[in-house]
Structures are given as structure tokens and as C-alpha cells.
Structure 1
Amino acid sequence: MNPWPAVVGICSAMCADEEVRRRKAEKRRHVLERCTSGDIRMVKEYRRSAAGVDLCNSRHLRTIEALLMTSDYLIDNILDRKDVSWPVVYEFVADRFRSILQDITIQRLCCETTAGIVLRCLRFFIYAGYRLGTSWPGFQAKLNGDMIQQCISQLLFCYDGSSVHSCRCQNEWAEFAAIYLLYNLDSSEPCLYILSQPTKRRQHPLISLAFKIFLAKTTRNYVRFFRLVDQLPAACLSCAIHRHVKKFHRLALKVMNTGYSMKNCLYPLKNLATILALESEEEAGALCAEHGIEVKEGSAIFQKGSYQESSKKDPLSRYSFIDKFLTDDVKIFDIIKGHFSKK
């Protein structure tokens, strides 16, 4: 039990009056704090712990109602802004979400509403990791990854300290646990965490599917792995597994190069692209060439000893099993609010 009492925030606005005055005097209003209507709506920014900075001042800490209002505002009014580039939107929203997480941590908030807010933050950083990690050279993947793990840690704390009774809370827990497992496929900790939960929780369809993917990865069954990944019902779940796809491509090629190593045996690139969830035969051929596997007349020629580990840094690629959720008619706020987009 923590001997120190938690600080209780009393700020009911998105930004405390003192910060509004300070930033106005310093002329540090962000372009996205000016609404499309011309009104100014300032949102508390993230501040690092430093000498002279009182992060625990209750007047500066927002209540749980204010934090929910702030997350609603950022998601509904900022994420789909078209008057600035999305990297600018990301940097603004990421900073303000960090501030929300900071307020939650300082106050040690732990309830169903808190878990819902942190899950929104988690979805945002997962989604941004895919969207910007494949398109923006200036994207700080390490910082974004750290924020994902921080969200996961806070959700573990929230769900450990609050009851998961309502149907909505059970579904949100299942989504979180599935993301936790899929994002950390190389770790046994998410698996042990889920196995420690009551049977009813573990029987949720999302948990069952995530576990099947985990087992396919553990048993190196690349065909089943990609078939199951294509069944994921939401954008953030697919984005969560994105960082593991390249590694599994390498594993699949290594296994196939040994298993299909026969004289005059040609493996069609069309079939290879389908199995590995690649966009085209050309992409499958490029993957083979990158690893020293000969390509001839639209087919791969697998020969023992020909496989080579790529010496270049693997760029993150986009995949159709994720992009099917990210069509032009899909609003980002729907993704971050957890509105599932089934095929």
C-alpha cells in the first residue's frame, strides 16, 4: 500500500487558467488550438519534471471528467483536421495525450473511465505507428513505441485495480489484452497475463484469435499465421502486429527455401504473395531477391544454402490486411474510439 496520499486534481477545463495566461504571454499557441471557426481552445501541454515545475499542483491537474472531455475533443475535433498535414496533427495530439497520461499517473486514477481514456491513447499510438512509420522519415518510432508500452502499463494497473463487469468494459479489456499480446509477440509476459485471468475473460473471441496467432508464431506456422492475421476485425489490432510481419516473412522464406529445395522446382510468386500477405508478385520477387533467392519467369527457385539475411535495414511496409481498414471513407476518430470495422 502506498503511504503517500494521491493528489486530487480540481481543474475542470482542458487547460488551467495559469497555463493559458503563461502560454499566451509567451506566444506559444499551437496552430491546432485555433478552431476552424476561429475560436481559441487551448489544451494542456505535456511538461517534463524539472526544477521549479510543480507537476502535482491540484489546480493544474484535471479531474477525470475534464480528462474525458479533453480526449473527446482531441479525437472528435483534431484528428481529422485537413488544414494541416497529419504529422503536425500527430505531434500535437501525441503531446496532449502524453499530458493526459501524466495527469492520470500523478493522481493514480484507476476506474473504468480511466481505462477507457488510456485505451484511446493506446489505439492512437498504435495507429500512428503504422501510418507514419511507413510514410514519414521524421517519425520517432522509439518515442511512439515507448508511449505504447506506457499505455499498456497503465492499463494493466487500471484493470488490476478495477472490476471488469460491464459488457463494454469486458470488450475493452479483451481488445487491450489482444493488442498487448499481438504487439509483444516475442514476449511471454502477455501470454502469462492472459492465462492468469478468469476463464470467462479468456473465452472472448478476440482473445481466442490473438492466442491462435501467438501459437502460429510460436510453432513457426507461417501459412496459418497470415491466414489468422487477415481475420483480425479492427484496424488497431492489425496495426499492433505490423512490426512483426517482416520478421515472419524472413522466417517463412528461410523455411520454404529448405522445404522446397528441389532441382527444377519453381514456386509461383503469385502463390508466395498470397501466403505472405504481400501486395503483388513484384513485391514477392523483390523479397526473394533481397534474401539471395533466385527469381525466374515469375517463380522463385528455392535452393539450400542460397538464403541470405538482408544486410540493409528493413523499411516498414504497408499491407493490404491493414489498409483494408484505412480507406478514404474511414474517419480516424472512429478508429481511435474503437468502432470495429469488420470485413
Structure 2
Amino acid sequence: MSDYIEGTCFLMCPDKERNMRQREGMLHRFEIDENGQFFGKPKADPGKAIKSFSRPAAGQFKADPAQLRPAPVLLKTIKYLFTNIATRLDTDWIHIYDFIFDRLRSVRQDITIQRLKPKETIQLLEPIVRFHVYANQRLYERQISEFDVTINNQHLLECLKQLLVLYDYKDEGEFFDLNNSDVISGLLNNLVLENNRPEMEAIYLLVNIGDSTALTRAVTLSREIRMILFRNNINFKIAMKTSLAWYKKNYISTFRLMQKLPPLLICAALINLRQIRRDALEIMSVGYSSTVQHYPIKRLQQLLLYQDIRFLKLDCSLFNLPFTSETVNFQKKLFKSTERLAYAEMFYSLENLHEFLPEILLP
């Protein structure tokens, strides 16, 4: 008997679940047929309803093929979510996030239960990673009661790590003749044009910026893959340099390199921006420690990429750095070492990206 289960549901939501949620009044407003009623309750639109995430009952495993969607349907579901739901302007994006977050968990559940092939799983996980990266920046100002950044990042890392394992699995046992130009050309086309591995490897570096384990992984990839990544993908190279700069605690190079990244990779780097700013201010408190010399506050604002100087002043207060309207006084003994991060103020705005969201999430 085969261990694999192949889904037979070719709708985004199985009939059984759609009918149950319609009957129980559990439809999301994004799934409702606006022109129909079901015994006085909202009616489900089969073209809009999407399978929700639910944990299997204790001791039970959801193995009914009729309730599982095969890979092409899962990809169709992701594309629908990012094209028709993520771009909506008629509701607060936090509600859009909550809906998509739940439906993507259901997609990942179907992937796991069916044990889809590596190539299919990679194709499905890559856009999910982009969504979590984008959401982190889009919703960074929200209260934890609305948006829990820790949970979002947990799911981001789970997907990323699974992707890296799958990439490495595909590489295993493959040997390439680096003296054969046709082989190299084929590798480049496969890596850059047919999948998005360089982007995902770069996201992993930036989400774990300055982390020795992430850096070690990058430099210990197979010689063939390293050659392609380092020589032929400028964004990966910048991501690598950015992470290495922060590993060395070179905050000037770190912030300079961040600004050279494309939009999605900037979002990945911004996940750690508050931590980097706090650590940079502590480093400067040691390096520029003086009771008589003062650092120009405008220069500090430019250096640490604060758009609004008010947030820089809030951080100076938070970490007990004396400041005026013109200067900051760094003193090692005065710096308040605290586990609190800097205030949430980002240097990059997503306002102009929303209309291009499908292209960002589904390049």
C-alpha cells in the first residue's frame, strides 16, 4: 500500500466543508455569494470559498482524498489569494492578512498530508514566504492584539527552512561539469529563470542577518551553486554582504547596503531593523563616548535611516542618550542596556507597492 495520498478535490474548498460552513454560518465575507441566501444565511460562492485551516481531532489524520487539493489546485488557490484578496481596497489589510494567513496554513497542511514532490512543494512555498515577509513590513505598526510579529516570523522561518532542505535535497547527488559551457548555461537558466532560489537564499540571510549559521550555510553550499549565486545574482551578493557587515557589527556598511536591495529583500532586512538600531546606538555609545564631544543628530538620523527624527529622539530617550535639537551625547556609562527594541519606524514605505502586489508575491 502506498504511503502517498493524492487529493481529488479540484475546487479551492471541498464541497463537504463549504456546505458545512454555509449551514453553520461560518463563511468569511470574502467567500459569500452576494446574490444568494441559504435559509436566511449567507450563501457560499464556490468560486470564492477556500478551505480553512483546522487541526485534526486527536488520534485522527485527515487522509480523505476528497478533502485534499492536488498541487495545481493549491497553486491556483495561492494565486487567487494574492491576486483577488491581497489587493482589495475595501477593508483594513489586517483582516485581509488574517484571512490569507489561515488559508495558507491550510495549503501547507494539504502539502504535508499528500507529501507532494519537492518541485511542487518548492513552487508552493516560495510565494508563501514572500507573503510573510511583506506582511511583516506592512503591519509593523499594529498592536500585538492585531498582528503578532513573532507568530508571523515563526511561520516565515518554518517555510524558509523547509525550502532550504528541499533545495539541498535537489542538489544531492548532482554533479556538474564546470568546463562545459552548455552545462553552466543550463544551470543558470534553471536556477535564475525556472525557480527563485537566489531570492529565497537571500531572504534567509537577511531574516537571520549577521547570524553565523546562516552565513556558514551560504559559504558551504556546493561549489556549483555558490558559483551561480555569487557570480550571477547581484541581489544575493548584496544580501550576503549586508549580513556579513552586521556580523562584523559594521553598522555603516549594513545600512548603506540595505538601501541597495530590491523591495521584497528590503522588507526581509527590516525584520531586524529595530534590533540593529538599538545595537548600533550601543556600539556608538562605546566608540564615541565623551563628556564634552557631541554627535550631530541630523547625521545620526541619516546614518541609521530614520525618516522621522522624532523616532530617533524617542530611541535616545529609551536608551538614556542625552540629546538636544542639534546633537546627541554618547557616554558608555549612561547607555541604558535594555531588552527593549528601538521604536518601530521604518525607512522604507510600501505605499507605492500595493498595486503591484501580485507581481511581488508571484513573480
TM-score norm. by structure 2 comes to 0.83
Give runs of aligned pairs for residues 176-215 of structure 1, distance below 5 A: 176-185=200-209, 187-195=211-219, 196-197=221-222, 198-203=225-230, 204-215=233-244
3-state DSSP of counterpart to 1:296: coil
Deviations 1:24-56 (A, max 9, x none): 221211101136788812111111121475412
Deviations 1:55-102 (A, max 9, x none): 121111111110111111111111111222211111111011111111
CA contact (8 A) 1:110 1:161 kept: no
Q: What is the root-mean-square deviation in Å for CA atoms of aligned residues? A: 2.5
Aligned to 2:316: 288
3-state DSSP of counterpart to 1:317: coil
**One-letter amino acid of the structure 1 residue matched with residue 159 of structure 2:** C
Aligned to 1:335: 360
Deviations 1:125-175 (A, max 9, x none): 121122223224421223212211221132123323446762545661011
Q: Which sections of structure 1, spanning at least 5 residues, go unmatched?
A: 339-343
Aligned to 1:28: 26
Deviation at 1:238, TM superposition (A): 1.5
Residue 157 (structure 1) aligned with residue 165 (structure 2): yes
Distance (whole Å) between structure 2 residues aligned to residue 62 and residue 25 of structure 1: 22
Residue 266 (structure 1) aligned with residue 266 (structure 2): no
> Could you tell which deviates more after superposition, 134-143 or 327-336?
327-336
Q: Which sections of structure 2, spanning at least 5 residues, go unmatched?
A: 37-43, 172-186
Aligned to 2:150: 142
Aligned residues: 332
Distance (whole Å) between structure 1 residues aligned to residue 334 and residue 119 of structure 2: 54
Residue 49 (structure 1) aligned with residue 56 (structure 2): yes
Aligned to 1:341: none
CA contact (8 A) 2:278 2:342 kept: no
Aligned to 2:259: 230
Distance (whole Å) between structure 2 residues aligned to residue 129 and residue 329 of structure 1: 14
TM-score norm. by structure 1 comes to 0.88
Residue 68 (structure 1) aligned with residue 82 (structure 2): no
Distance (whole Å) between structure 2 residues aligned to residue 185 and residue 328 of structure 1: 24
> Could you tell which deviates more after superposition, 177-186 or 135-144?
135-144
Q: Call closer, same or farther: CA 1:262–1:142 in 2, change over 3 Å.
A: closer
Distance (whole Å) between structure 2 residues aligned to residue 249 and residue 336 of structure 1: 28
Residue 107 (structure 1) aligned with residue 107 (structure 2): no
Q: Call closer, same or farther: CA 1:329–1:148 in 2, change over 3 Å.
A: closer
Deviations 1:269-313 (A, max 9, x none): 1100011011133332332222111113411122331211247x4
Distance (whole Å) between structure 2 residues aligned to residue 271 and residue 141 of structure 1: 30
